[in-house]
Amino acid sequence: MSDNASSSAPTEEVVNPALRIMGQYVKDLSFEVPQAPDIFTLLRQQAPEIPTSIETDLRHLDGNSYEVTVSLHLEAFVAGKTAFIMELDYACVVEIDDKRIPQEHLHPILMIEVPRQLFPFVRQLVADMTMGGGFPPLMMQLVDFAEIYRRKFGVAIPRTDAPTSPTIN
């Protein structure tokens, strides 16, 4: 068999992804049960209310690298007392191929799509921390990051024919 057969095979071009998560990490985490152990007796009698707030943040690092952070605050109440408080900042470093992502789509992608990809890890941390704190694991519902974006920036999600989105500082 000759070597000519292998040299005539077509070569595939390697295409870099438009967005790459280079690493993800817990930036800050706090969990406390200020009324322990008494709160556990109340929880056997009544289900807690657990208001949740979620925010996203973006920081330009250098070149085409950005840090995207999902911040979460949970505070569970039962019978007017605090059952637990959890605060979490979960972040990642993202590289963007600016030749493949138009500038007008960059901000929404970083503030909607990247947090959407991080959310399963945030959700798992919440479940693990609540369980480790002596509570049933709290399984958060899915989050609409597009709605968070609309509330935060007061703009519609840009389409290919829409005007540009806010610029990143």
Domain edges within the chain: 17-153
Q: Does the structure show a pLDDT above 70 at 80?
A: yes
pLDDT, mean of residues 112-135: 97
| Region of poorest pLDDT, from 14-18, 33-37, 117-121 | 14-18
Distance in angstroms (rounded) separating the CA atoms of residues 39 and 81? 8
Distance in angstroms (rounded) separating the CA atoms of residues 82 and 79? 8
Q: Provide the pLDDT confidence category of residue 154 given band limits of 50, 70 and 90.
A: confident
For 127-146, write each residue's pLDDT tens digit: 999 999 999 999 999 999 99
Which pLDDT value is given to residue 101? 87
For helices 114-132 and 145-153, angle between their N-to-C axes, nearest 10 degrees: 110
Residue 137 and residue 130 in contact, taking contact as beta carbons nearer than 8 Å: yes
Helix H or strand E encompassing 78: strand 65-78
Between these two residues, 158 and 105, which has the higher pLDDT value?
Answer: 105
Q: What is the largest CA-CA distance in the chain?
A: 82
Looking at the chain, the whole-number percentage of residues with pLDDT higher than 70 is: 83
pLDDT, mean of residues 138-160: 83
pLDDT, mean of residues 4-23: 71
Q: Does the structure show a pLDDT above 60 at 165?
A: no
The CATH classification number of 17-153 equals 3.10.420.10
Q: How far is CA 52 from CA 60, 66, 72, 96, 118, in A?
A: 27, 26, 7, 30, 17
Distance in angstroms (rounded) separating the CA atoms of residues 61 and 136? 38
| C-alpha of 86 from chain center | 16
Average pLDDT of the residues of the chain: 87
Which pLDDT value is given to residue 14? 59
Asked whether the CA dihedral 155, 59, 144, 163 is positive or negative, the reply is positive
Q: Does the structure show a pLDDT above 80 at 30?
A: yes
